[in-house]
Structure 1
Amino acid sequence: MTPSCLSSITLGVRDRARSEAFYQAVGFEVLGDDELGTLLAAHGLHLILRNWADLADDFGVAPEAGGFRGSHVTLHLADRDIVDGTYATWITAGAIGVRQPTEKPWGGYAGVVADPDGHLWEMCFVAGIESVLGLCRSDTDTGTVTASDDPDVAEPADTAEGRDTAEPAA
């Protein structure tokens, strides 16, 4: 069975309080917090922060990690200016700039930051992708990113054909 949508991402973090503060600064809202982890929400997605070593233990892998981890999360945004603003907001909140927003050879415009634990987040604009993906917009006052409320921006395609044409989000 193919899942119809991505609903949550769990990230291992070294300092939950630091990570909670960072993700709140870029627009996530804390929904719950207990000894197992912190549940946050934004962008139509739930983000779960877990202790790095505990999460590694759950999967039976060593907690040491370095360099590229083989994955990233992409926020598809409505235009280049929103990419620039979102990138700047995340840097101000404490993210590390990995790649400043720039034109990509495949026709997009994207920048990449690393959160305080090194997880990669890409801010991306691709002209014409609106019909396939629900886009995020930036609050002009704060630069935080929220799900688009533009009625002209389509929700994510709900058919197998639509999913097949979309780039993976992460």
Structure 2
Amino acid sequence: MKPRISMITLGVRDLDVAIRFYEAGLGFPRMESPPEVAFFTLNGTWLGLYGRAALAEDAGVSSEGSGFESFALAHNVGSEQDVDDVMAQAVDAGATLVKKPQKVFWGGYSGYFKDPDGHLWEVAYNPFFWVGPSDVDE
């Protein structure tokens, strides 16, 4: 077995707003799906969007929660300029800037934003570790 994360599903408060953010705002390619869920094809994985209450019900947990959710999603890009570009694109699409892109202690360059539902995303350039689309093991 090859370890991998095949899909990340985010519970969202307003599916239409979330779809606009990821599809129109960030340019993620959307797949055909039933109206109560949205799937986006990414390099090596998929992103799913599903109603927060419905996702919590499916897992058998409460949908109530606030503050830091104990994880961040990361989008690694090929240069510092790419970090700046993706961050600007996200903010233009409705994201909230959390941390401006900057040089970081580990030798890279990164920043953070929150999507319209508060999911934390890091956009990073790591000069020591870069996985691009041609590097993904199908």
Distance 1:68 1:84, change over 3 A: same
Residue by residue over 1:131-162, the C-alpha shift from the partner in whole angstroms, topping out at 9 and shown as x without a partner, is: xxx23xxxxxxxxxxx4x6xxxxx1479xxxx
Shift in Å at residue 85 of structure 1?
A: 0.5
Q: 1:39 to 1:129 in 2, by over 3 A?
A: same
State how far apart, in whole Å, the 1-side matches of 2:84 and 2:121 are. Answer: 13
1:94 is paired with a residue of what secondary structure? coil
Q: Relative to 1, partners in 2 of residues 1:33 and 1:110: Cα closer, same or farther, differing over 3 Å?
A: same
Distance 2:28 2:127 in 1: 26
User: How far did 1:35 drift?
Assistant: 4.5
**DSSP 3-state at the match of 1:105:** coil
Give CA deviations for 1:96-153 in whole Å, capped at 9, x if unaligned: 10111011111121001110000111100111213xxx23xxxxxxxxxxx4x6xxxx
Deviation at 1:7, TM superposition (A): 2.0
8 Å CA contact 1:27–1:42 kept in 2: the answer is no
Number of residue pairs aligned between Structure 1 and Structure 2:
137
Moved more, 115-124 or 29-38: 29-38
C-alpha distance in structure 2 between counterparts of 1:88 and 1:35, whole Å: 29
1:99 equivalent in alignment to 2:99: yes
Identity of aligned residues (%): 34
Deviation at 1:36, TM superposition (A): 4.1
2: CA distance between counterparts of 1:115 and 1:128?
A: 27
Note the 1:1-170 alignment, pairs <5 A.
3=3, 5-24=4-23, 25-130=25-130, 134-135=131-132, 147=133, 155-156=135-136
Kept after mapping to 1: 8 A contact 2:43/2:136: no
Q: What stretches of structure 2 of length at least 5 have no aligned partner?
A: none
Separation in 1, partners of 2:16, 2:137:
36
Unaligned runs of 5+ in 1: 136-146, 150-154, 159-170
When normalised by structure 1's length, the TM-score is 0.74
Q: Structure 2 length normalisation: TM-score?
A: 0.90
